[in-house]
Chains A and B, each alone.
Chain A
Amino acid sequence: MNDAQRDRLLGIVGAAFALAYIAQARGIEDSLLADAVGAGGVPQAAGIVMLLASLALVAKGLLRRTPAAEPSEALSPRRLAIGAVLVLALIGYVLLLPLLGGIVMVSALVLVVALLAGARDRLALALFTALAGVVLWAVFSLALKVRVPSGSIWG
């Protein structure tokens, strides 16, 4: 996908988002303390400007002559997959944190991330995983006095 195509895509996504945003902003109810502009006034204005800017970007993308030499950068499926799995791992970390606790989840997170990033040395990986959970727990729980979840599953 080249820059002009990206601009058009961004413009379309931006315009759709702006329309939905304007609809939401119009639904904001004012209180008795409301001023002349109202709680939804400025957000509506921002939505309208966003809509216009997005449409202008689409138009610019359509009018722009795409140079023949302009490289078309395809998204690497492998990189996309690694990124998606990493996001899922991070979401899993958040969901399981109260259940399994800080030490286990930090260890699990660094293990998954290091494997995704290409770590293959099993011994180093095991050491790193074990140390990361304990070290970060010590830093946050003991040094910074942050209440790190201990994990409801452990009672």
Chain B
Amino acid sequence: MDAWLQSFGQLASGWVVIAAFAGVLWGILGGALPGISPSIAMALLLPFTVGMAPTTALVLLASVYVGAEYGGSIPAILIRTPGTNSAAATVVDGYAMAQQGRAGEALGISLMSGLIGGLFGLAVLVLATESLARVALAFTPAAYFSLGILGLSVIAGLSGGSLLKGLIAALLGLMIAFIGSDPVSGVPRFTYGSADLLGGVKPILVMVGLFAVTEMLVQIGEPAWAKALKSQARLKLPNWAMSKRLARPQAIGAVIGTVEGVTPGAGGTIAAFMAYSEARRWSRHPEEFGHGSPEGIAAPESANNVVTATALVPLLSLGIPGSNSAAILLGGFLIHGLQPGPMLFVKAPEVVYGLYGGLLIANLAMLLIGLVILGPCIWLVNRPKPYLIAAILALVMSGVYAIHQSLFELMLVIGVGVLGCFMRWVKLPVLPLVLGLVLGYLVESNLRRSLVISGGDPMIFFSDRVSLALLCLAALLTAYTLWKEFGPVTRPADAA
């Protein structure tokens, strides 16, 4: 109850409200552009948050995520091209409805389902996060080290099917995290005499490079996407009878979105497809699925919007980013000198509660903006792609320069962008790298602190009960992953 009251108090700040509306608007526009994922839309704004108050900055970034999930459904329904990965499940019935002249109805269902999902996810976030963080408050350095190991053990879920590749990517992230002054002795490591590297590589630069620059380097060679028709720009919200029919798929989406959201690596795309599948299984009209079923839009759209909030549970409570968008939000915390995790509720509770309040406003803003944004979105989707790519790259370069006015950082972002292209080509997953980068300091500094405390005895990690529990959990996760990777299950690739 306290959390709610404090979060409402944060709403008194006009900047938080403006940030929520601006973030949702940016997110919807970004999500409506195929190729601009929620994380890219967030990464583009990341440099601009440097001078903002922490709460305003985080609400802005989180609101982009909320808006992008609805924005992604617009081209999915209108031009059969999902604006975001998690809108892919919406294409099936959304585009079928558009072909039947029911595009406005499909978009209305998407908007309302997104709102319901977003509010449900927010309630889960508020109720689950603090209790989880409270448990973690009793952590010693040994337990923090084990928490870092647990965080690294979720790599498997983020690896896109190859544990080895996920491990290599995570190690690459750790290696980037080791650049700069040693956390214990202050000795410079891997700086090669460069003063620019003494402070380490800022995660924000890696994220902007990996998400935004890489995407533009890839997109520039891709063909243009299809055009949307202006005649489709009339939104129709579901009536009472339709709302009653949609309640069941929305509830299915909410439950699946909650489970998938709090599981690192699962994310909105898996949640949306699972929700679609389950909604069809439990529907009274399963035969309509694939041919323009409103339930086929409601389930995935409520699921992927639940994830916008529930994906923040592991981030806020344990400091583990379980998705690209959560990783970018983590970058927002780090820019403002805040480390997500159990101590966040002690050191800066007002930021967490402000974020809750901002997310509530963002979901309401999504409804209001969603009602009027369709026309501008269709206009934006129809802009020539070359100008969009050019504008985005100019914005990225100007935004990165604005952080510290450093040419070195600009070069670094370009370099990371090229690395991202190589990673994409060899199918090396990006998220484990980000995880390694942000957990590197936590793991190394607490490992060494613990060993200093114990006089070099590694048994400290097993004698501390919390540390032992976390290590057991990490071992279980790793064993499960190894079993999945190397176990006797015949995978389709091997069976061919």
Contact = CB atoms under 8 A, between A and B. Distances in A.
Nearest to B418: A87
B444 A117 contact: no
Given A50-B168, A79-B221, A87-B217, A34 B184 contact: yes
Contacts of A104: none
A96 to B, nearest CB: 10
A49 B436 CA distance: 13
Interface string B391-433: 1011101100110010100110010011001000111100000
A128 B185 contact: no
B146 to A, nearest CB: 15
A100 interface: no
Contact of A132 (B220, B394, B448, B494): B394
Interface in A106-131: 106, 109-111, 113-119, 121, 124, 128
Contacts of B390: 109-111, 113-114, 117, 119, 128, 132
A98 B391 contact: no
Nearest to A81: B221
A116 B172 CA distance: 31
B496 A69 contact: yes
Given A36-B456, A83-B421, A114-B386, A57 B168 contact: yes
Interface string A54-67: 10110010000101
A53 interface: yes
| Of A9, A46, A54, A87, most B-chain CB atoms within 10 Å | A46
Interface stretch (B186-194, B272-280, B313-321): B186-194
Contacts of A24: 190
B393 A42 contact: no
Given A86-B220, A117-B386, A33 B171 contact: no
A65 B494 contact: yes
Contacts of B391: 110, 132
B187 A28 contact: yes
| Of B175, B220, B389, B390, most A-chain CB atoms within 10 Å | B390
A92 B410 CA distance: 11
* Interface residue tally on B, bucketed by range: 35 or more
A25 to B, nearest CB: 8
A34 B451 contact: no
B221 A128 contact: no
A147 B398 CA distance: 11
Contact of A36 (B182, B401, B405, B451): B451
* Interface residue tally on A, bucketed by range: 35 or more
B268 to A, nearest CB: 26
B167 interface: yes
Contacts of B397: 90, 93-94, 106, 109
B144 interface: no
Contacts of A110: 387, 390-391, 393-394
B496 A67 contact: yes
A94 B393 contact: no
B80 interface: no
Contacts of B165: 7, 10, 57
Interface string A123-145: 01000100010001001100010
B171 A91 contact: no
A113 B220 contact: yes
B168 A53 contact: yes
Interface of B: 48, 51, 164-165, 167-168, 171-172, 174-175, 178, 182, 184-187, 189-190, 213, 216-218, 220-221, 224, 384-387, 389-391, 393-395, 397-398, 401-402, 405, 407, 410-411, 414, 417-418, 421, 425-428, 443-444, 447-448, 451-452, 456, 493-494, 496
Closest 4 pairs (CB-CB, A-B):
A117-B386, A79-B221, A119-B386, A113-B390
Interface of A: 3, 6-7, 9-10, 14, 21, 24-25, 28-31, 33-37, 39-40, 42-43, 46-47, 49-50, 53-54, 56-57, 60, 65, 67, 69-70, 75-76, 78-79, 82-83, 86-87, 90-91, 93-95, 97-98, 102, 106, 109-111, 113-119, 121, 124, 128, 132, 136, 139-140, 144, 146-148
